[in-house]
Structure 1
Amino acid sequence: MIRLKINEILKEKEMNQKELCEISGLRPTTVSEMCRGVRSTVNLKHLEMLIDALEIEDFNQILKRDKV
């Protein structure tokens, strides 16, 4: 299973979901669902917006594969 490590990154950057929404331009519902892992698909444009907002340079920083 592949998941997004948004919550971990937010903690590292001492940022909350509201701030991420403001910086990325994504809707609060979208960010919340991505943080909670309730979306079964991820829009690549949304992922790009998150990566830009969080200043991520390597996909390994935001993606994690958990073995089931």
Structure 2
Amino acid sequence: MGFVLIVKVDEQLRARGWTQADLAEKTGLRPSTISEIVRGSRTVINKEHIAKIAEVMGITDITELIELKSTDKG
């Protein structure tokens, strides 16, 4: 059994009409950090970064930002 972590920050940005630069400014995170999170190129995501993103977006349900999906076919 395997799992993959899906980061849905880009969906939340689109829903709000925000750019990655907007999110970087609001969270105080580097634009490159936001870009890497959105692209899914980070192998490790800092929980403080996720908390900052959730806070500025007004998200209280973590599944709006991240999702754990099974890679099993059956």
Fold shared per TM-score above 0.5: yes
Residue 23 in structure 1 maps to residue 26 in structure 2: yes
Count of aligned residue pairs for this structure pair: 68
Residue 12 in structure 1 maps to residue 15 in structure 2: yes
Specify the alignment match of 2:70 in structure 1. 67
Q: Alpha-carbon deviations, 1:21-60, whole Å to 9, x = none?
A: 0101100010000000000111111111111111101111
Q: TM-score, normalised by structure 2?
A: 0.85
Letter in 1 for 2:69: D
Letter in 2 for 1:28: P
| Identity %, equivalent residues | 29
SS in 2 for 1:66: strand
Higher share in strand: 2
> Larger Cα Rg: Structure 1 or Structure 2?
2
Specify the alignment match of 1:35 in structure 2. 38
Q: TM-score, normalised by structure 1?
A: 0.92
Specify the alignment match of 1:49 in structure 2. 52
Name stretches of at least 5 consecutive residues in structure 1 with no aligned partner: none
1:66 deviation in Å? 3.0
Name stretches of at least 5 consecutive residues in structure 2 with no aligned partner: none
